Amino acid sequence: MTNPSSMMVENLLARPKMHLQWEHDYRTTDNESFYEQAFDYLVDVLKPPAGATILDAGCGSCAHSVRLARRGFKVQAVDFSESALGMARENIKAKGLEEKITLGRESLLAFSFPDASFDYILCWGVLMHIPQVELAVAELARLIKPGGALVISEANKSSLEAAGARNLKRLLRKAKADIKETPEGVEYWVDSGADALVTREANISWLITRFEEHGLTLMKRVAGQFSESYTRISAEPFKRLIHGFNKFWFRRVKWPAPAFGNIIFLRKPL
């Protein structure tokens, strides 16, 4: 990352505290059940040959790399954060997957890999934290082999949850972050001393169009988690209700427009 805002985000994401917080919020038993369901679906859509290579771009603690390895992929997992990579090494070792997952330090804005290096790429919940998202889009598209596919998961700014929460915060004037509306989506900036974190609810149409400009075609767009409001409430019965609805919506409906999480499958033509 090169511009000042990107450096501020990179500095904050280098801290172990951020990754530990995400582990606490998202690596729960209920969430693990959803992710297992989602990654079974991912394999069903991609139908990869045995031993296909996949890049986990922005791997964090490698929770998703582990899922991919257990489903037959050979995984190259990368992140720019040494803190995240440290957690990833421990996770991979604990799962006994050292031979199936290779770790490396990379920036999504300037990968060291040559063009057309990977059959498949996963970028799950990562682009939302990158200020220079167009550069990341170009890099991801560059690395996919012809005939290969990219899977991304991003928050949908037009979802019922995102639009409702945004309007409520404006009405009550309780926004805790600097909110910026851009062509890329709605960005929430939170300062932490000299550093900052951006979390973007994506303009999904804009994002798909940018990938199409780099030669990819849309295969499929489906709902991810309908709601992530479980991260903001403490009552376990309500958490279980939200998780149950998320799994129902993903399994039975999959309509992405009203869902907060969207999973997008893109292919590079031969």
* Angle at CA of residue 256, ends 251 and 261, nearest 5°: 85
Across-strand partners of 104? Answer: 78
Backbone torsion region of residue 161, taken as left when φ is above 0, otherwise alpha when ψ lies between -120 and 50, otherwise beta = alpha
Model confidence at 3, pLDDT cuts 50, 70, 90, reads: low
Question: What is residue 48's DSSP assignment?
Answer: P
pLDDT value at position 120? 99
Count how many domains the chain has.
1
Tokens of 68: 């991919």
Burial of 254 (0-12, 13-18, 19+ CB in 10 A): middle
Burial of 64 (0-12, 13-18, 19+ CB in 10 A): buried
Tokens of 39: 């990654």
The residues, ordered by sequence, that sit 6+ positions from 174 with a Cβ below 8 Å of its Cβ are none
| pLDDT tens for each residue of 41-60 | 999 999 999 899 999 999 99
Domain of residue 45, residue span: 4-267
Q: DSSP characters for 17-52? A: HHHHHHHHHH-SHHHHHHHHHHHHHHHHHH-PPTT-
Model confidence at 194, pLDDT cuts 50, 70, 90, reads: low
* Contact between residue 234 and residue 28 where contact means Cβ atoms under 8 Å apart: no
**Confidence check: pLDDT of 66 > 70:** yes
Q: Length of the chain, please? A: 270
Tokens of 75: 């995984």
The CATH number of the domain where 243 resides is what?
3.40.50.150
Q: DSSP characters for 117-149? A: -EEEEEEES-GGG-SSHHHHHHHHHHHEEEEEE
Residue 266: which of 223, 219, 222 has the closest Cα? 219
* Angle at CA of residue 27, ends 37 and 250, nearest 5°: 30
pLDDT value at position 1? 42
Q: What number is the average pLDDT over the span 231-237?
A: 91
* Contact between residue 133 and residue 187 where contact means Cβ atoms under 8 Å apart: no
* Contact between residue 179 and residue 232 where contact means Cβ atoms under 8 Å apart: no
% of the chain residues with pLDDT over 70? 92
Mean pLDDT of the residues in the chain = 92
Model confidence at 132, pLDDT cuts 50, 70, 90, reads: very high
